[in-house]
Amino acid sequence: MQLNGKQRAYLRSLANTLDATLFVGKDGVTANTRKEAYDLLQARELIKCAVQQNAPLTAREASDELCALTGAQPVQVIGRRFTIYRKNDKEPRIQLP
């Protein structure tokens, strides 16, 4: 599923109130990071992540890598934070416009 502009804008508005729940550290995107992202996306569909200052990759790189590994869609990247979305087909929590 590819997000259109209206859906992406809606998800960005929802993400404004989120705190970062996943942190990418000095080891980059590891197997544990991937599993945690997958579990969070299963529970919430929309998560905000942060890349710590000592990480070897940028927020865009981390977002692209996590999206590829989890089947999520990038929503927004600002500075060291990024938001990703993956629809939960079994129990959808977010109704996209």
CATH number at residue 72: 3.30.110.60
**pLDDT for residue 92:** 85
Q: Give mean pLDDT, residues 59-66.
A: 97
Name the domain count of the chain.
1
**Contact in structure between 56 and 24 (CB atoms under 8 Å):** no
The answer to whether position 94 is within a domain reads no
Q: Give mean pLDDT, residues 43-53.
A: 96
The answer to whether position 97 is within a domain reads no
- Domain assignment of residue 45, given as a range: 5-85
Residue 97 has pLDDT above 80, yes or no: yes
Q: What is the largest CA-CA distance in the chain?
A: 38
The answer to whether position 35 is within a domain reads yes
Q: How confident is the model at residue 91 (pLDDT cuts 50, 70, 90)?
A: confident
The answer to whether position 96 is within a domain reads no
The answer to whether position 13 is within a domain reads yes
Contacts of 95 (CB under 8 A, 6+ apart): none
pLDDT in tens, 9-35: 999 999 999 999 999 999 999 999 999
**Contact in structure between 57 and 51 (CB atoms under 8 Å):** yes
The answer to whether position 91 is within a domain reads no
The label of the residue with tokens 């998800």 reads 11
The answer to whether position 93 is within a domain reads no
Structure tokens at 1: 């599923």
Instruction: Please indicate, yes or no, whether the overall pTM of this predicted structure exceeds 0.75.
Output: yes
41's torsion region: left (phi>0), alpha (psi -120 to 50) or beta? alpha
Residue 1 has pLDDT above 80, yes or no: no
